[in-house]
Structure 1
């Protein structure tokens, strides 16, 4: 079961790209593990969709901290909590996948003090990639973090992964979804498109959407309606479509609009949305986590030039 959409409820999620393999090493400058590589006890929690935490480092001021299975104690860097976890992503499928992983940093009682998001790009079939995720600076007054867990994993084919940064895709455009906004049960997520190529890119109309479940199979019974006003007015995605030409470096914006109202019937959650910027465009699969409730509808705005 997917947890409530954290990107809508807490937009200030930290993004860390983990595209290279490796493990945390000693810091000769006197930071974490400065006295030498710290021994790491194995963490035995089972993997979540191919992602598992292999060790957790928790700082302590005590010179002789008590032993905790799966934890390593070290002095934190100045201004930093010093809490981090090593993880491993294993692709047991038959195609390269890009993973987005949410890690929860929690107290002993399970209260979440921070949610960190890691994107691990293009993990090849049968291969594993390792990395670390850091808590960073803990908010003033927050309770001590003692545990790290894998809270949610989404994965999309590597050739359909969103590309907000990095090398320009072969299509010549980037397409990604933002963290969205929520108020009184109304959800709005922006779809961003940037022409990162060398030629003009023409748009005229609405992005084409396919709604997919956890197995990336089609979701039935949801109407995709044109214009945000089909769900709610004042979302900024009510304008009719019109021709738009993006020169290299220019951007366009569309949006997904829905309500999470739940009445009679079974609530529908849609983890994946495959997007075509226009007919014939290369597909991009985004993960907005549509909690559609029992409304059975999703509004999509026409492409418009993004504000500069």
Structure 2
């Protein structure tokens, strides 16, 4: 479950696509029956939080096979849509940042046929990184994709970015948030901590949380309550804290629990970032659970417990 934060949603970035640059036909290069490169269109839309799409590639109709016996033409991998977008991530700040970007692949009418999420790590101040994101396999029966847009951008200081699979941090532990779950206004997002080091790692209590706005400034007026039962029963995070020692490779679990109830006439509160300390003195990690707290003013946090399995 991923809830795009209202103030982080990028305006729709309409991109020029294949029909506007279609003019290529099978056989225009390489002789009859040769594969035709997919049309690529340059994009000049302004960046969204430092991220911009520089070009898009939308394949035209499949090349017509040559009528000559024995001729061969190249095809994409079976099922691969061939749709892709080249992007650039630029950091105009004064510290290295890690960016997470969601790209939406849509029809002309804006219907989303697929999303791709990627993370670009450690973009140095004043520097840029380029890359390409592909749609991959399009669901059978889906409408043709004709546009690509930046749907969401989040960014955190590189030295506080979560990393589920990269090199083990100097702290000896990895910490990250999952995509969570939602049911009838109740939100639950898991916090995972893995001992990736070579020594035992001890926990006893609750993660320490700081709520941050989109500029990473503190958000006031929200009570952080210990235990899931402070918000709702039966979330799995009701147990009191107990000492816990993780051997190398073992994982602990906590959780963020809230409701998105909004009272009429009141202003809803949304918190895109949460800085997490696994225990006092631990290295901070900023996760992006996108807390849509409504007007409740409450966030529950579970005590660390050993993860199942």
What is the alpha-carbon distance in structure 2 between the residues aligned to residue 115 and residue 37 of structure 1? 24
The equivalent of 2:160 in structure 1 is: 160
Q: Is the 8 A contact 1:59 1:75 kept in 2?
A: no
Q: Deviations for 1:37-66, whole angstroms, at most 9, x for unmatched residues?
A: 7774420111100000011111122559xx
Pair 1:151 & 2:151 matched: yes
SS of the equivalent of 2:48 reads: coil
Q: Is the 8 A contact 1:75 1:82 kept in 2?
A: no
Q: Is the contact between residue 5 and residue 270 of structure 2 (CA under 8 Å) also seen in structure 1?
A: no
What displacement does 1:242 show? Answer: 0.4
Quote the residue 2:196 is aligned against: 196
How far apart in 1 are the matches of 2:78 and 2:219? 49
Aligned length in residues = 271
Q: Which runs of 5+ in 1 are unaligned?
A: 7-33, 65-73
The secondary structure found in structure 2 opposite 1:199 is: coil
Describe the shift of the 1:247–1:167 C-alpha distance in structure 2 as closer, same or farther (beyond 3 A): same
Contact 1:266 1:293 in 2 (8 A): yes
Q: Who is 2:180 aligned against?
A: 180
Conserved in 2, the CA contact under 8 Å of 1:116 and 1:133?
yes
Q: Is the 8 A contact 2:98 2:120 kept in 1?
A: yes
Q: How does 1:57-76 map to 2 (within 5 A)?
A: 57-61=57-61, 63=63, 76=76
Shift of the 167–36 alpha-carbon distance from structure 1 to 2, 3 Å rule, reads farther
Partner of 1:22: none
Residues in 2 aligned to 1:274 and 1:36: alpha-carbon distance in whole angstroms: 49
The aligned residue for residue 289 of structure 1 is 290
Task: Mark the runs of 5 or more structure 2 residues left unpaired by the alignment.
Answer: 7-33, 65-73
What is the TM-score of this pair, normalised by structure 1? 0.84
Normalising by the residue count of structure 2, what TM-score does the alignment of the two structures yield?
Answer: 0.84
Partner of 2:276: 275
Structure 2 counterpart of 1:224? 224
The Cα shift of 1:4 comes to: 3.5
**Which string of whole-angstrom CA distances, capped at 9 and with x for unpartnered residues, describes residues 155-191 of structure 1?**
0000000010010001000000001011111110000
Point out 4+ residue stretches in structure 1 off by more than 3 angstroms. 2-6, 34-41
Shift of 1:226: 0.4
The 5-angstrom pairing of residues 10-25 of structure 1 reads: none
Aligned match of 1:77: 77
